[in-house]
Amino acid sequence: MITGIGVAVPEPVSQQRLWEDFFREHFADSRLARRVFASAGVTRRHTVVNPLTEPPTHWSTAERMSRYGVEAPLLGRRAVTAALEAADLDVDAVGMLVVASCTGYETPGPDIRIAASLGLRPDTRRLLVGHMGCYAALPGLGSVSDYVPARGRAAVLLCVELTSLHLQPPTTDPQQVVTHALFGDAAVAVVVRPGGSPGDGDPVTGAPGETVPPLEVVDLASHTDAGTGEHMTWRITDLGFRMGLAPEVPDVLAKHVRPVVEELLARNGLALHDPVGWAVHPGGPRILDTVRDELGLPESALASSRAVLDAYGNCSSATVLLVLDHLRGTGALVPGAYAVALAFGPGLTLWAALLRVPGG
């Protein structure tokens, strides 16, 4: 049962200012770059490394990883603390910590550093989910959801992504233009507790004056089209990690998203019209349009996804959790209601989670 979500982000910077004061020159004021930045669906992003004040364009990978080692545990700790407070859970009750991140490496990793800084018990299980990319939150959610009923203890999933560390040198590559127009930094943590815990099924306190519903993780599904693996890549270079993002990605997604979602729903006795909430990873405007059209959803079903894209950009694995957090606050998820979370990433891989509000 998801009973708390915590969000932590660094300082915001507006998309317009990023374009005008840095990326316009970075991309030689090309018409393509101007159009991509204007149509990305992003108004602001959050960055631990702001290119307006300290552009990491020519930082070595070692320099970028050193910064990751400082920033990721700090941001992650804030998110986990917020999630535990939202769930009204003491750190001693946490039996497992799962950390997903594809934007940095170090050992001891952020899982160890965050566990130590929070004072988690020495016997707390830790799992580090690395380099899965934008869909990593859902297999991470599957791991904690399997652990919780098996062990009768609470678990925490943390997604922490610092994409701003991987700003690449100037280029005319359209894929790099799209990448740099979309991505931002965020950490989001989710607390999962055993069903039947005191207060489960009751609204959870959120922002002042607000309540948000707990969510049961009902089922998960995944599909990988390995033949299209080169359409989305995340390569380690001497100058950080470089993303490849082919324009064919929405077409591959269009082929698979409906069959995967329909099968997930059908084995739980549901059809496409049954879920009232949709938390779709906003990989970009075209991705959201593709999901809407292939599933036959009204545009309103993507309101939370577009709101997160607008306010945060694409924050890799943390993004679908940002969307889920936004969706929980809309009031649409009443007792008994179902929701579907969808995320996509390298592979090409699609993950789906079926969620339900207890009661009803």
Q: Which two tokens stand for residue 30?
A: 């090309």
Catalytic machinery residues: 134
Q: Is 274 left (phi over 0), alpha (psi -120 to 50) or beta?
A: alpha
CA nearest neighbour of 334 among 275, 253, 265: 275
CA nearest neighbour of 134 among 235, 233, 262, 13: 233
Separation CA 288–CA 303 (nearest Å) = 10
Q: Which two tokens stand for residue 27?
A: 């991309």
CB 318, CB 188: distance < 8 Å: yes
Lookup result for tokens 């998820």: 333
Q: Quick check: bond before 348 cis, omega within 30?
A: yes
Separation CA 229–CA 244 (nearest Å) = 11
**Rounded to the nearest 5 degrees, what angle is found at the Cα of 116, between the Cα atoms of 195 and 83?**
40
b/e 219-253 (16+ beta carbons within 10 angstroms → b): bbbbbbeeebeebbebeeeebbbbbebbeebbebb
Separation CA 81–CA 71 (nearest Å) = 16
Q: Is 269 left (phi over 0), alpha (psi -120 to 50) or beta?
A: left
HEC-encoded secondary structure of 119-146: CCCCCCEEEEEECCHHHCHHHHHHHHHH
Separation CA 15–CA 20 (nearest Å) = 9
